[in-house]
Amino acid sequence: MSAGDPEGARDRTLAQIDANLEPSLARLFDLLRIPSISTQPDHAGDCRRAAGWLSDLLGGMGFDASVRETPGHPIVVAHDRSARHGPHVLFYGHYDVQPIDPLSLWDTAPFEPVVRNGAIIARGASDDKGQVMTFLEACRALREAEGELPVLVSIILEGEEESGGENLLPFLKANADELRADVALICDTGMVGHEIPAITTMLRGLVGEEIVISAADRDLHSGIFGNAARNPIHVLADIIAGLRDEAGRVTLPGFYDGVTDVPEAVRAAWNRIGLTDEAALGPVGLSIPAGERGYSALEQTWARPSCEVNGISGGYQEPGFKTVLPAKASAKISFRLVAGQEPERIRAAFRDYVRSRIPGDCAVEFRPHGGSPACAVPFDGAPLAATLRALGEEWGRPAVTIGSGGSIPVVGELQQALGMNALLVGFARDDDRIHSPNEKYDVDSFHRGIRSWARILHALAAI
Amino acid sequence: MSAGDPEGARDRTLAQIDANLEPSLARLFDLLRIPSISTQPDHAGDCRRAAGWLSDLLGGMGFDASVRETPGHPIVVAHDRSARHGPHVLFYGHYDVQPIDPLSLWDTAPFEPVVRNGAIIARGASDDKGQVMTFLEACRALREAEGELPVLVSIILEGEEESGGENLLPFLKANADELRADVALICDTGMVGHEIPAITTMLRGLVGEEIVISAADRDLHSGIFGNAARNPIHVLADIIAGLRDEAGRVTLPGFYDGVTDVPEAVRAAWNRIGLTDEAALGPVGLSIPAGERGYSALEQTWARPSCEVNGISGGYQEPGFKTVLPAKASAKISFRLVAGQEPERIRAAFRDYVRSRIPGDCAVEFRPHGGSPACAVPFDGAPLAATLRALGEEWGRPAVTIGSGGSIPVVGELQQALGMNALLVGFARDDDRIHSPNEKYDVDSFHRGIRSWARILHALAAI
């Protein structure tokens, strides 16, 4: 609990943030100028430079900051112990960025940030340097205006998020005592539309599985053998068609065991967002929700488990026609999971189902491609409520908890290594073009993002 | 009707054939030494040389023979009018051969024929030079032993059968009055096993169709959109799965209209062949007939219409995994047709069915890939019965009428241009390796093939 007049202190900080937007932007631009592309070996030095720059910045702000080695790109760790009370938060972000190709599609140089039409344009502007700096600039303003942070803050910034690096989890495990906190804060997600602040509390899990079905021991002429000899493409089509019923539900026995609907209040909040099925699907040229009947497109992707075929292959695929009966056919199939579903149980149910559909003289090979459970922050926790409230105050409209169909590995890794829940709060917008040419982050996202964090840390201090 | 003692005359001819096997083989070898690969332009001169060689051979045998020009390789036409009675037959064969690559897999030089273990080894030994020469050597022996042929014989030998040449049909049409006969004889097919003589009377037709299903206007991330956005692979799998019912029957409305079962006598003859489902499927590693219930594997491929997916493609097909929801998915689908089915009616029924399964916000593109009706020789014709009888006498066991799932375009073209039925009589064996390295034709096939034609022409003279 902050001493004295916490609201007055907070308002001084917000004023400080407003007054210092220009130097805040200048610092972000310095970071954006470092081409820290983690997946390209010739940028390894730039990754190290970005880590050093951040460590120096944090050290200058009063953090106990250091650049820590890993087998890959280094990790920045920093602690601020100025708070005399309050919970301990661990902030996570990443300083590495995606490659820039195709360079010809950029309107400006990717590592020479500019502001155009109210947007900061540069590789990493949104993902994730701009978002990281919202938190760091909030900490700076809090220290400058109030002399201390409202809560104990630790920060971890990694450099391999965009390159599938596997060094974070071992690092978290090896430094668990140092890094464990009451709650993790992650700034690598977005808002709903341009104005609705959001906390991503549900991340779907994934089970990936490839199946290769073999029939005859060679490709056959479909004129000579067609009808009599088994066609593995037909076997595969039957398997895929049988995976979902008329109502769009996955048919695997036990698939929905442990799956619960979101609370009615959350569903009502989602309905209030006004993201209709048409609004969700229209931008990609569709209009009819394809999935589970009885759920909106939003609910289908955020909160319902599903099954999709991500690739299928068999027989003759070149231009023209060849009357072949292939020896093999294959498909890559993924299941998105929600809380309550255990990946390996789903995988086993899928394999049982497939085996039950394989004719006696055919064979199936299973190739696993990853499995991770869903992550969910309990809807009833105090940090969540406090953060929602703080966001709502900044943006002038109620913040919502949302789901995400995609995966953010660090959330599960924090759970696994440190036993911590994470609140995913981000200010990216749908049109930020992350991973694409002309990536941008609105100055408004940056400015109000900083303000949001100041409010959030105060709110967390009060719980 | 041959005068005098037709059986005695025939037996003299058979003795003549036996006595002259060596010079018959020598002539075949001369033809095999000409590398008449029709699809390779640098062998055009060899094709012309083969045509000239055959024309000279036939001229020397007393035929009125000529090499006739086409826009491609020439066609040899010859007539023997020595017969004073009997029907008029038109014999068809082809002098061109397949390419020889991969040459490294040949044990001997492809165009230096040798006899090893009772087999003539050379490119074209079976397909089709060896088979063509069985007929020509039969005519030679008949002329030498009897002074005349038992029937009027015309011969047409083309040079583009292996290269998809499109010059035969126009040639047939342009020379219809010269070429039209009572029945066509084609020697380009095989026996059942090594010892059962066969006439191929049923050739399935084909409708090829490619469908491309489009959903979203771009590839989507299956985490973000999966479940809500339509996956064209699922649409495709549903379409394919729905094309055949539990009993293996094609579900298109009207698909079986006009389709009749083969006569019970034919079915009984097929059963007597002893080619069980296990024997038909075992060589390719299968054991369970996959097609229409209630029909043997033999009947399924020879006499029943069917549907096969020859290729399927969609989404991510490289090694590894990508959680993509593709914008498009496609399949190449073929229908094999039997007598009574009209290709364009089947294509229309298929398109109607597909359209009925395309969601309102998706699209389908149809790409036609050929359509040809089935060919069938009436089971009750006198030429068929006479030929079966003659074959049975030569081989010492009843000859059977069989079907073929593959297509032999000339059969339809003779029907179309000349209104003639064709009897497909051949002596190739399953292990002849046509189109492959070390192609062979058994000396026994060649010898008894010549004898078979002598008997057949006598039998046709007697109807």
Selected residues 172-211 of chain B with any CB under 8 Å from a CB in chain A:
204, 206, 208, 210
Say yes or no for a CB contact (<8 Å) between A223 and B323: no
Return the exposure string of A347-370: e unless at least 16 CB atoms fall within 10 Å of the residue's CB, then b: bebbbebbeeebbebbebeeeebe
Instruction: Kindly list the residues from chain A whose CB atom is less than 8 angstroms away from the CB atom of residue B221.
Output: 405-406
User: What's the mean per-residue pLDDT of chain A?
Assistant: 94
Tens digit of pLDDT at every position of chain B (463 positions): 345 688 899 999 999 999 999 999 999 999 999 999 999 999 999 999 999 999 999 999 999 999 999 999 999 999 999 888 889 999 999 999 999 988 999 999 999 999 999 999 999 999 999 999 999 999 999 999 999 999 999 999 999 998 876 899 999 999 999 999 999 999 999 999 899 999 999 999 999 999 999 999 989 888 888 899 999 999 999 999 999 999 999 999 999 999 999 999 889 989 888 889 998 899 899 999 999 999 999 999 999 999 999 999 999 988 888 888 999 999 999 999 999 999 999 999 999 999 999 999 999 999 998 888 898 888 778 999 999 999 999 999 999 999 987 778 899 899 989 999 999 999 999 889 888 899 999 999 999 999 999 999 999 999 8
Of B220, B229, B290, the CB nearest to A228: B290
Domain(s) of CATH 3.40.630.10: residues in chain B: 6-202+375-461
Q: What is the pLDDT of residue B3?
A: 52
Of A222, A236, A301, the CB nearest to B310: A222
Say yes or no for a CB contact (<8 Å) between B292 and A233: no
B338 to chain A nearest CA, in Å?
Answer: 12
Say yes or no for a CB contact (<8 Å) between B237 and A237: yes
Q: Give the model's confidence band at A412: pLDDT under 50 very low, under 70 low, under 90 confident, else very high.
A: confident
A310 to chain B nearest CA, in Å?
Answer: 5
Domain B205-259+305-372 has CATH 3.40.109.10: no
Rounded average pLDDT over A243-266 = 95
The span from the CA of B297 to the CA of B278, in Å, is 9
Ranking A244-248, A409-413, B313-317 by mean pLDDT, the lowest is: A409-413
Say yes or no for a CB contact (<8 Å) between A227 and B306: yes
Q: Does A247 touch chain B (CB under 8 A)?
A: no
The span from the CA of B106 to the CA of B86, in Å, is 45
The span from the CA of A338 to the CA of A206, in Å, is 9
Selected residues 212-231 of chain A with any CB under 8 Å from a CB in chain B:
215-218, 220-231
- Whether A407 has a pLDDT exceeding 80, the answer reads no
| A82-129: pLDDT as tens digits | 888 889 999 999 999 999 988 999 999 999 999 999 999 999 999 999
Interface A-B: count of C-beta contacts within 8 A: 280
B73 to chain A nearest CA, in Å?
Answer: 25
Q: What is the pLDDT of residue A143?
A: 96
A78 to chain B nearest CA, in Å?
Answer: 33
Of B223, B301, B359, the CB nearest to A405: B223
Give the CATH number of domain A6-202+375-461; options: 3.30.365.10, 3.40.50.10310, 3.90.45.10, 3.40.630.10: 3.40.630.10
What is the percent of chain A with per-residue pLDDT over 90, rounded to a whole number? 80
Domain(s) of CATH 3.30.70.360: residues in chain B: 205-259+305-372
Q: Does A294 touch chain B (CB under 8 A)?
A: no
Of B281, B324, B406, the CB nearest to A229: B281
Q: What is the pLDDT of residue A273?
A: 86
Please report the ipTM that was assigned to this predicted complex. 0.84
Nearest CA in chain B to A408: B223
Nearest CA in chain A to B206: A223
3-state secondary structure of B455: helix
- Whether A212 has a pLDDT exceeding 50, the answer reads yes
Instruction: Kindly list the residues from chain B whose CB atom is less than 8 angstroms away from the CB atom of residue A287.
Output: 360-361
Q: What is the pLDDT of residue A2?
A: 42
Nearest CA in chain B to A307: B227
Say yes or no for a CB contact (<8 Å) between B224 and A301: yes
Of B242, B284, B290, the CB nearest to A218: B284
Say yes or no for a CB contact (<8 Å) between A308 and B215: no
Instruction: Kindly list the residues from chain B whose CB atom is less than 8 angstroms away from the CB atom of residue A308.
Output: 222, 226-227, 231, 234, 323, 325
Q: Give the model's confidence band at A3: pLDDT under 50 very low, under 70 low, under 90 confident, else very high.
A: low
What is the percent of chain A with per-residue pLDDT over 70, rounded to a whole number? 99
Hey, of B308, B404, B411, which one would you mutate to test binding to chain A, going by the most A CBs within 10 A of its CB?
B308
Whose tokens are 């109502």? That residue is A247
Of B218, B281, B321, the CB nearest to A208: B321
Rounded average pLDDT over A156-165 = 89
The span from the CA of A306 to the CA of A248, in Å, is 9
Rounded average pLDDT over A312-341 = 93
